[in-house]
Amino acid sequence: METNRELRGNAPIGVFDSGVGGLTVVREIMRQIPNERIVYFGDTARVPYGSKSQETVIRYSEQIVRFLRTFQVKTIVVACNTASAYALDTLEQDIDIPIIGVVRPGAKAALDVTRNGRIGVIATEATIGSQIYTEYISKLNTNVTIYGKACPLFVPLVEEGLLEDPVTDEIARRYLAELIDIDIDTLILGCTHYPLIRSTLGKIVGDRVTLVNPAYETALELKSMLQSLHLLNDDPPGLGANQYRFFVSDKAEKFVRFANSIIKYGILSAKAVNIEEY
């Protein structure tokens, strides 16, 4: 893929997710490259992607990419594990701007930190079922073993706001018990919601297990990619420059409430768009 010559550093970064989870990726981008402008799309009308077929997830992702490109974005971040698993390869072939997903940066980081070669992955049923982390890590290194565990209650618990709560502790203890028994030393948080219960998860797996947050690793890889392409934004956006813009396919108010609990950026607004038109 050749980079479009028209790309400019002060163009925004496009980020999308099936809903609100991708905001943990946005948060990391804001922290690591605070000069950047961001256009975020959350597909709140069609969430969750996890129960949909690959064909459908590709179709939805292509619509969203077309929408984001109306903002002349310089790069696109697929901040959704399911879309990264199902659609990234197709999207990469389609477009002439750089695009990155959350799975590969998370997988690479896990390989860097594991010492005993036993890596756990927790994620939604769809991501675990897709075996995407296992496939990708095995390609890079055949000497590690990946143990996947679906944790379907974590997303609803996070969305209900029970981030530090005895109920979430208890559910996490049950989900993680077998991974602890297997003696993993690395745990990939394979769903964009999970960094929000990072402290609960860390407490339960203990100090011997390193938590890998693909949101953090993705922002790091994004920064290094923009750097090498000379596409970092050198001009700090001025006041009122509309640095961060948020779009959703349904229920903007609910999105804003949740976004404000994740991103300490003050008052945030989101606009609903009819994504099926793209």
Which part of the chain contacts its own copies (CB under 8 A), choosing from 63-71, 156-164, 233-241, 263-271?
A: 156-164
How many CB atoms are closer than 10 A to CB 236?
Answer: 9
Only one residue has tokens 């959704």, namely 80
Within 19-58, which residues bind its own copies (CB under 8 A)?
44-45, 47, 51-53, 56
Task: Return the residues of window 91-120 that contact its own copies according to CB under 8 A.
Answer: none
CA-CA-CA-CA dihedral for 125, 130, 136, 142, to nearest 10: 90
Residue 212 bridge partners (DSSP): 188
Element (H, E) at 150: strand 145-150
C-alpha to C-alpha distances, 189 to 133, 160, 178, 253, 257, nearest whole angstrom = 11, 19, 16, 27, 23
**Between residues 34 and 156, which has the closer beta carbon with respect to its own copies?**
156
Is residue 151 part of the annotated active site? The answer reads no
80 labelled catalytic: yes
Nearest distance in Å: CB 204, its own copies: 15
Complex with its own copies: residue 54 or 269, whichever CB lies closer: 54
Single out the residue of 9, 90, 141, 152 in contact with its own copies (rule: CB under 8 A): 152
Catalytic residue among 80, 128, 188, 189: 80
Nearest distance from C-beta of residue 138 to its own copies, angstroms? 25
| Member of 62, 94, 159, 185 binding its own copies (CB under 8 A) | 159
250 is a site residue for its own copies (CB under 8 A): yes
Catalytic residue among 85, 191, 201, 211: 191
Among 107, 146, 171, 211, binds its own copies (CB under 8 A): 171
Could you count the other beta carbons within 10 Å of the beta carbon of residue 164? 11
CA nearest neighbour of 180 among 96, 234, 235, 120: 120
The minimum distance between CB 18 and its own copies, in angstroms, equals 11
- Quote the least distance from Cβ 133 to its own copies, whole Å: 21
Among candidate residues 80, 8, 6, 7, the one with its CA nearest the CA of residue 42: 80
> Residue 258, Cα to own-chain centre: how many angstroms?
16
Taking the C-alpha atoms of residue 132 and residue 182, their distance in angstroms, rounded to an integer, is: 20
For the chain, give percent helix, strand, coil, nearest 5.
45, 15, 40
Q: 198 to 237, contacts with its own copies by CB under 8 A? A: none
Chain-centre distance of CA 220, in angstroms?
12
Residues identified as active-site: 80, 191
Query: Contact residues for its own copies (CB under 8 A)?
Result: 44-45, 47, 51-53, 56, 152-153, 155-157, 159-160, 166-167, 170-171, 250-251
